[in-house]
Amino acid sequence: MASARFDYDVAVVGAGPAGSGTARSLAARGYRVALLERDPGPGRPVHCTGIVSDECFERYGLPASLVIGSVSSFVLRSPSGRPATIRRRSVQAHVLDRVGLDRWLADEAVRAGADLVTSTAVDDIRWTGDGVRLSLSAGSAPLTARAAVVATGFGTPLARKLDIGSSGELLSGCQAVVEQEGVDEIEVFTGDALGAGGFGWLVPWRAGLGLAGLLTRKHTMHRLNEHLARLRAAGRIGRIVERFRLRAVPIGLPDRTVADGIVAVGDVAGQVKPTSGGGIYYALLSAEIAAAALAEAIEAGDVTAAGLAPYEERWRAALGTEIRQGMRLRRLIEQLPESAIEQLHRLLGVPVLRRVLVSAAPSLDWHSSKLTRVLERLDRHRDAAPASLR
Ligand SMILES: Cc1cc2nc3c(=O)[nH]c(=O)nc-3n(C[C@H](O)[C@H](O)[C@H](O)COP(=O)(O)OP(=O)(O)OC[C@H]3O[C@@H](n4cnc5c(N)ncnc54)[C@H](O)[C@@H]3O)c2cc1C
């Protein structure tokens, strides 16, 4: 354990999934942990759809009370609007109450023994030679710890100041709560109107409501407005009830996620699926890896960048291939003309190819093996495709 000279063993900055997950794991190991959140409480303001795979849901023992809906199928719409329903036998994913998820994770950290300090932004973190000193907002006295976890999400001044995380490549996403009746399947939209490689969604949510949004490279608000207008014109949605904030999503592997006394976890470290922009599961996985590496470094008495390097090595071993392959897939899709996407969509109309595409996609989270398998199996079934698609 760390010496009593420090206020805490570890100060975790940001009470999103990455920060609360790390704080929970460290506190459960008996470390003195401060979980510092700039907003008045975890979870707000909300920006995210809250979809996690069943694998993530089970692994972290998330409570059923957070589930708004469970998903075993979704409708994929081609650029021209043609639907194809992708159905699996078992539940694949859950739409969670995202505010509730963040609160639950922060509560779990507190139950494990962490101190949650809200309405407190960390403005700077300085290495002092054997620990860190955190400058807090609003004139609060600085806080000391053996090490700090930067889990501030993407685009915060703190991460920029520390020059940690982010490859520099970005998507941005935004969504709105809309009136929506009689739809019980998630719909995913594709096409140039959503930007190259961009996609839109309409997700059944609470009673009479849905979430309509999109993730794309640029012109996000303009494209969201057009997406909403198209859905309204088609009679798919009614009134817009609330708009969430625009948020950047970093994609690609960053140069470094460790510095003397500091590790970066979650969005700030680019631990996000480059294809879908989903980051909750990777944040929780990386939080586990960070907590274990921090505990080892503290016990070994070396929290320098060298002592914390195992975190960097282990999370890259766990997620690096996925993120690299996800970037390749994203670049490929971004280069495809709309007509090619329309044609690829037609493959789903060929029964044997549809079976290949659906059965070779075992997981929402691990895309690299899926991509390789789909391409290999499609190659084996080339003769089944219409001549125009070969
Ligand atoms: C439109 C949209 C939809 C999405 N939908 C999904 C989805 O369905 N499924 C999915 O898996 N992912 C989704 N994501 C991505 C997901 O929201 C993020 O990957 C996830 O929130 C990352 O968690 P995090 O803990 O790293 O960061 P965050 O959730 O951003 O948490 C960071 C926390 O740090 C706090 N903070 C920031 N700076 C400071 C500071 N200086 N001091 C103290 N506190 C600070 C913030 O207030 C915040 O509470 C979506 C993203 C967008 C934009």
For residue 251, which of 323, 194, 320 has the smallest C-alpha distance?
A: 323
pLDDT band at 390 (very low <50, low <70, confident <90, very high): very low
pLDDT number for residue 388: 45
Residue 366 pLDDT exceeds 70 = no
pTM: 0.92
Do residues 102 and 217 share a domain? no
Q: Measured from the CB, is residue 121 less than 6 Å from ligand 1? A: yes
CA distance linking residue 63 with residue 57, whole number of Å = 8
Pocket test for ligand 1, best of 46, 267, 268, 365 (most atoms within 8 A of CB): 267
Which of 249, 283, 306 is the endpoint of a domain?
A: 249
How many domains does the chain fold into? Answer: 3
To the nearest whole number, what is the mean pLDDT of the chain? 90
The pLDDT value recorded for residue 2 is 47
- Mark whether 159 and 129 lie in a shared domain: yes
Question: Residue 176: in which H helix or E strand, if any?
Answer: strand 169-179
User: Are 83 and 157 members of one domain?
Assistant: no
Residue 3 has pLDDT above 60, yes or no: no
Examine the domain organization and report whether 381 and 240 are in the same domain.
no
Residue 227 maps to which CATH number? 3.30.9.10
Cβ–ligand 1 distance for 105 under 6 Å, the answer: no
The answer as to whether 368 is a domain residue is: yes
The sheet carrying 93-96 orders its strands as: 51-53, 93-96, 67-71
Tens of pLDDT along 141-186?
999 999 999 999 988 899 889 988 777 789 999 999 999 987 788 9
Residue 204 lies in a domain: yes
Q: Is residue 25 part of a domain?
A: yes
pLDDT tens across 245-259, in order? 899 999 999 999 999
| 103 and 245 housed in the same domain | no
Ligand 1 atom nearest to 121, measured from its CA: 42
Residue 47 in contact with ligand 1 by CB distance below 6 A:
yes
**What is the predicted pLDDT for the residue at 378?**
52
CATH code, domain carrying 287: 3.50.50.60
Whether the CB of 285 sits within 6 Å of ligand 1: no
Average of per-residue pLDDT across 257-279: 95
Domain identity same for 107 and 163? yes
Q: How confident is the model at residue 371 (pLDDT cuts 50, 70, 90)?
A: low
Is the CB of 51 within 6 Å of ligand 1? Answer: yes
In a domain, 1, yes or no: no
Q: 272 in ligand 1 pocket by Cβ < 6 Å?
A: yes
Whether 344 maps to a domain, the answer reads no
Determine if ligand 1 sits within 6 Å of the CB of residue 13: yes
Specify the residue for token string 């480059």. 274
Q: Does residue 296 form part of some domain? A: yes
Distance (Å) from CA 6 to ligand 1 centroid? 29
* Assigned domain for 244 exists: yes
Most confident region among 135-149, 343-357, 375-389 by mean pLDDT: 135-149
Q: Looking at the structure, tell me whether residues 173 and 313 fall in a common domain.
A: no
275-291: pLDDT as tens digits: 999 999 999 999 999 99
What's the gap in Å between 286 CA and the centre of ligand 1? 14
Burial 137-155 (b: 16+ CB within 10 A, else e): eeeeeebbbbbbbbbbbbb
CA of residue 71 to ligand 1 center, whole Å: 22
What does the pLDDT look like over 202-226, one tens digit per residue?
999 999 999 999 999 999 999 999 9
Percentage above 70 pLDDT, the chain: 90
* 159 Cα to the center of ligand 1, angstroms: 14
Question: Is the distance from CB of 288 to CB of 20 less than 8 angstroms?
Answer: no
Residues 291 and 148 in one domain: yes
| Binding site membership of 164 for ligand 1 (Cβ less than 6 Å) | no
Any domain includes 30: yes
Q: Is 220's C-beta closer than 6 angstroms to any atom of ligand 1?
A: no
Q: Is 326 in the pocket of ligand 1 (CB under 6 A)?
A: no
Q: Whose alpha carbon is nearest atom 27 of ligand 1?
A: 153
317 and 225 part of one domain: no
What CA–CA distance (Å, rounded) separates 231 from 249? 24
CA of 154 to the centre of ligand 1 (A): 7
122 lines ligand 1 (CB under 6 A): yes
At which of 249, 270, 285 does a domain end? Answer: 249
Confidence band of 389 (pLDDT split at 50, 70, 90): very low
Reported as a single tens digit per residue, the pLDDT across 91-107 is: 889 999 999 999 999 99
Domain termination residue (choose one: 249, 265, 284)? 249
CA of 26 to the centre of ligand 1 (A): 20
| pLDDT score of 367 more than 90 | no
Same-domain status, 181 and 106: no
Range of the domain at 278: 8-47+98-167+253-330
pLDDT band at 361 (very low <50, low <70, confident <90, very high): low
Kindly state whether residues 180 and 91 are assigned to the same domain.
yes
d(CA 243, CA 224): 10
Q: Are residues 153 and 204 in the same domain?
A: no
